[in-house]
Amino acid sequence: MGAQVMPCPHPLAARRSQFSQICRWVKLFATLISATVICGYAVAENLPMPRPRPAEAITSHSPQAADPENAATPSDCQIRLKRVAVASALPPIAGPGECAAEDVVELETILLPNRAHVAVTPAATVRCSLAEAIAQWVREDVAPRVRVFDSSLKSLDNYASFDCRGRNRVAGATLSEHGKANALDIRSLKLMNGRVVKLTDPELSRDFRESLRRSACVRFATVLGPGSDGYHEDHIHVDLAERRNAQHLCRWDVHEPDTDNVAAETPVPLPRPRPAHRS
């Protein structure tokens, strides 16, 4: 019996077999990738999500530090005041009693036209309108006038600003403008050379005191000093009290040195004791 001869495979059939095998591997690989993606989604859905990060802490220097609902928008007066002074906005004053004021600031420093600083010591709690009037008075009237002392202005003595009380601290009296944060008492000025200029000092130049009195009486609704009511002999009171027809009250007597009182205060020598009687 002769040997059986195997038929030779056709070349085209061989190539189709190889292509089919490649397709099977591609389908298997694609199935594996799809399964991996699906499992990944399933695992991700079951994993707990990280807790959200807390908001970054807001520091006191951040613009968002204040509660937006409570943050007050600067008044027109406060915007103007920043050009001539350093002052911090304060909450409105409401009590005790009748004491009240809106648009209140703490006046710390007055900026002169040459950018020199004049401190208010201690800082004054006043309405913005009064702070602005004081700053303009110091800038335009007080600082130029102190040059007669061959020095420049360093600070302004705040003898009293906001104080919830009656006029002149009299019990039962009408509410003082101090109780409305609408008044400032000034006792003296301090110069850069260390000199202290007391505004009510009779020994001080009369021309200097008279020129300050005139300028203050133009700018402020009320000016009280020596000779006004007996309560302002050692300091000057200024305020922006509202009166009918915007009337001003200016009571500041510029006294000369009282030579009569000086003579009266000079000790008079006592008479010599009489000698003892001789018997």
155 in Cβ contact with 189 (< 8 Å): yes
Q: What is the average pLDDT across 141-169? A: 95
Nearest to 157, CA basis, from 130, 121, 119: 121
DSSP state for residue 89 in the 8-state scheme: E
Q: Structural domain boundaries of the chain?
A: 76-256
pTM: 0.67
For tokens 């009779």, the residue is: 202
What's the pLDDT at 16? 58
Q: Does the structure show a pLDDT above 80 at 23?
A: no
Q: Is 132 exposed, middle or buried (0-12, 13-18, 19+ CB in 10 A)?
A: buried
Paired tokens of 120: 């208010």
Q: Does the structure show a pLDDT above 80 at 126?
A: yes
119 in Cβ contact with 138 (< 8 Å): no
Q: Which residue has the higher pLDDT, 6 or 231?
A: 231
Beta bridge partners of residue 157, listed in sequence order: 121
With a CB cutoff of 8 Å and minimum separation 6, the contacts of 83 are 111
Model confidence at 106, pLDDT cuts 50, 70, 90, reads very high
Model confidence at 98, pLDDT cuts 50, 70, 90, reads very high
Element spanning 217, H or E = helix 206-219
Helix or strand or coil: residue 237? strand
Average pLDDT of the chain?
80
Beta bridge partners of residue 100, listed in sequence order: 94
Q: Does the structure show a pLDDT above 80 at 133?
A: yes
Q: Does the structure show a pLDDT above 60 at 62?
A: no
Q: Which residue has the higher pLDDT, 34 or 84?
A: 84
Q: Does the structure show a pLDDT above 70 at 40?
A: no
Amino acid at 159: Y
Helix or strand or coil: residue 147? helix
Element spanning 154, H or E = strand 153-160
Strands (E), 57-135: 85-90, 93-94, 100-101, 104-111, 117-127
172 in Cβ contact with 166 (< 8 Å): yes
Q: Omega into 122 within 30° of 0, i.e. cis? A: yes
What's the pLDDT at 246? 84
- Interval 221-272: pLDDT, tens: 999 999 998 899 999 999 999 988 888 999 999 998 874 444 334 444 444 4
What's the pLDDT at 266? 42
Nearest to 156, CA basis, from 80, 211, 212, 204: 212
Least confident of 36-50, 63-77, 186-200, 262-276: 262-276
With a CB cutoff of 8 Å and minimum separation 6, the contacts of 204 are 197, 198
Q: State what percent of residues in the chain have pLDDT above 70.
A: 67
- Interval 167-194: pLDDT, tens: 877 877 899 999 999 999 999 999 999 9
What's the pLDDT at 80? 98
What's the pLDDT at 66? 38
Element spanning 32, H or E = helix 11-46
Q: Does the structure show a pLDDT above 70 at 8?
A: no
CA distance 220 to 240: 6
Q: Which residue has the higher pLDDT, 257 or 117?
A: 117
Q: How far apart are the first and last CA of the chain?
A: 199
What's the pLDDT at 121? 98
Helix or strand or coil: residue 108? strand
What's the pLDDT at 270? 45
223 in Cβ contact with 217 (< 8 Å): yes
